[in-house]
Amino acid sequence: MKIRRRRNLRAVGIAAAIVLLLAGLNLVVDPYDLRAADAFLKLPLRSRQSIPKNEYLHKAYALAYQRPETVYFGNSRVSIGLPADNDLWKSKTYNCGLIAAQPEEMLAYLRHALLVGSVKRVVLGFDAVNFLGPHRELPMFDASVLLSPANARMRPAISSPAFFSVEAVSDSMKTLLRQIGTNVVTYREGVYDEDAMRAEINNDSEGVSQQILEVARRELRQLAVLDPRSDGIRVECAREMAALCREHGVEVIVVFLPNHHTFDELLDAEGLRERVQNVQDQVGAAFEDAHLPFLAVHDFSRDQ
């Protein structure tokens, strides 16, 4: 009996040691950039998992842990195209661009960031076409992890398998390997890619570009048949963002993201250019009418 008890205790001790070791690896490497300057290893931001699995979850906790003063919001074009690891704003900056984010997700994360505290300035990157049509439910969006008037407390990070899991350990190892060379590790999975195009690029960027354009053409055709009178309904999200920023005394920089000329040609072909421009004007007016402490609007959507 004593021998069996001793073996059981040894097994439990070994299991606990392994769990603590793996948890310690995640804590030290910080593969999802949760703690930024407070991380034990000051690894370059771009050597980490650039578009991590469970990005919506990680960035919700990163906002709470880092409490940045300047935050970027938008979709993956903001996440990739507007790097926050610079000294432009002379303040702690965080990029909360999210894959496939629509105005509704941007609003939810903006509210969360303002409730966390410390935010003094926001950069909002908009694709005006995302205001057209109905909102699409995203499987990775979970409002329960965000702070809101109805949800005053976040779940402990350790309760999520995304932080305390074999997957997180794997991403920690990949992050360490990327210190050797950026081409050592590739991420064929983990990106929100419902059309499975990114996983099959195989250096054929032209072919993938054509696939992306075909997907865009199908989506624009679906929007083109909708009643134009409904185009401005989701602009209410922009008005709510503006009201929140006014309430918290936050400076706002609105950026209308650039379109490639081929995408503009698709808008023209489907008769959507004017409708998109009308919605964009409404979004801009929503912020201009909010009497914010500071507002700058930059339109890069034309002639790119």
- Go through the chain and tell me how many residues it has: 304
- Predicted confidence at residue 277, as pLDDT, reads 94
Q: What is the predicted pLDDT for the residue at 66?
A: 85
Domain range 67-140+194-304, CATH architecture = 3-Layer(aba) Sandwich (3.40)
Judge whether 302 and 260 are in contact, CB under 8 Å.
Answer: no
Q: Is 203 left (phi over 0), alpha (psi -120 to 50) or beta?
A: left
pLDDT digits (tens, 9 = 90+) for 170-188: 777 777 776 665 443 344 4
CB atoms within 10 A of CB 14: 10
H-assigned helices in 166-234: 166-177, 205-224
Structure confidence at residue 42 (pLDDT): 59
What does 75-121 look like in DSSP terms, one character per residue?
SHHHHHHS--SSSSSSS-EEEEE-TT--HHHHHHHHHHHHHH----E
pLDDT of res. 166: 73
Output 289 or 144, whichever has higher pLDDT.
289
Range scoring the smallest mean pLDDT among 140-149, 190-199, 252-261: 190-199
pLDDT score for 180: 66
| Of residues 9 and 255, more confidently modeled | 255
The residue extents of the domains of the chain are 1-65+155-191, 67-140+194-304
pLDDT band at 245 (very low <50, low <70, confident <90, very high): very high
Give how far Cα 221 sits from Cα of 34, 183, 218, 225, Å.
Answer: 40, 38, 5, 7
3-state secondary structure at position 175: helix
**93-108 per-residue burial string, b: 16 or more CB within 10 A, e: under 16:** bbbbbbbbbbbbbbbb
**Is pLDDT at 143 greater than 70 in this prediction?**
yes
Phi and psi at 125, nearest 5°, equal -95, 115
Section 178-206 average pLDDT: 49
Mean pLDDT of 214-233: 90
Q: Which of 89-93, 107-111, 274-278 has the lowest mean pLDDT?
A: 89-93
With 0-12 / 13-18 / 19 or more C-beta atoms within 10 angstroms meaning exposed / middle / buried, residue 1 is exposed
The answer to whether residues 287 and 254 touch, using CB atoms and an 8 Å cutoff, is: yes
As a whole number of angstroms, the distance between CA 223 and CA 225 comes to 6
The predicted model gives 84-90 an average pLDDT of: 70
Residue 17: its pLDDT value, please?
79
Q: 70-74, 85-89, 133-137: which range is least confident on average? A: 85-89
